[in-house]
Amino acid sequence: MAINITDQAFLEMIEQHKGMLYKVARLYCPDAEARRDLIQEMMVQLWRAFPKLDTQQRVSTWLYRIALNVAISAYRKASTRSIVSNDLPKNEILSAPAEADLEEDPRLGLLMQFIAELKELDRALMLLYLEEKDQQDIADILGISVSNVSTRVHRVKQKLATRFQQTTY
């Protein structure tokens, strides 16, 4: 089946940012099988929203907003619904990277574990902070004020530092 320009542009965009999708899914879904479904759900929602993507908007901000919304809402529902994705352009983006060696550093494993223990909004906040997003971007993506971002980031960092200290000693 021939692939059209819109499909191609969408697939290229996803190809560039698939690591981001994986990271969001990793933080909200510990189970590898369910994570695949979650990434698929993200792709479906991104595909549906793609025609409305404003060219003035930063693609990564748009992607984070949708991916985080899907992840948080799936997390709240506790199980992802079955997905009808026949209209999604076919590709292999869903093939998740081999996970065995991703978190072999024990400190990285702990960081993941501690972030996973946070509330869902704080989790998203920490992800965006660690991804070097500025506070304005974080506020835009999460729909909260910049001052709220600043306060929360500070509090979450402290929480993580305490958890690391508790584990070390």
Partner 1 sequence: MEELDLKALWQSYNHKLDHSIRLNQELLMEAKMTKVRRLLSAVRPVRIFAVITGIIWVLFLYLVLKVAWHADNYFLLVSAGIHTLVIHILLVISIFHLFLIYDMRQSEFVLKTQKQLAQFRQSTLLGIRLSALQMPVFTTFYLSEGFLINGGPIMWTVHAALFISFAAVGIWAFRNFVPANRDKKWFQFIVGDRETEALDKAEDLLDQIGEWEENV
23 vs 69 by CB, closer to partner 1: 23
105 vs 134 by CB, closer to partner 1: 105
**Token output for 45:** 């929602």
Binding stretches for partner 1 (CB under 8 A): 15, 18-19, 22-23, 92, 95-99, 101-103, 105, 107-108, 111-112, 130-132, 157, 160-161, 164-165
106 vs 143 by CB, closer to partner 1: 106
Cα separation, 162 vs 168, whole angstroms: 10
Min dist CB 95 to partner 1, Å, is 6
Cα separation, 103 vs 156, whole angstroms: 21
Which one-letter amino acid corresponds to residue 93? I
78 vs 98 by CB, closer to partner 1: 98
Counting every residue written for the chain, the total comes to: 169
CA 123 to chain centre: 10
User: Are 13 and 60 in contact, with CB atoms under 8 Å apart?
Assistant: no
Min dist CB 25 to partner 1, Å, is 12
Min dist CB 112 to partner 1, Å, is 8
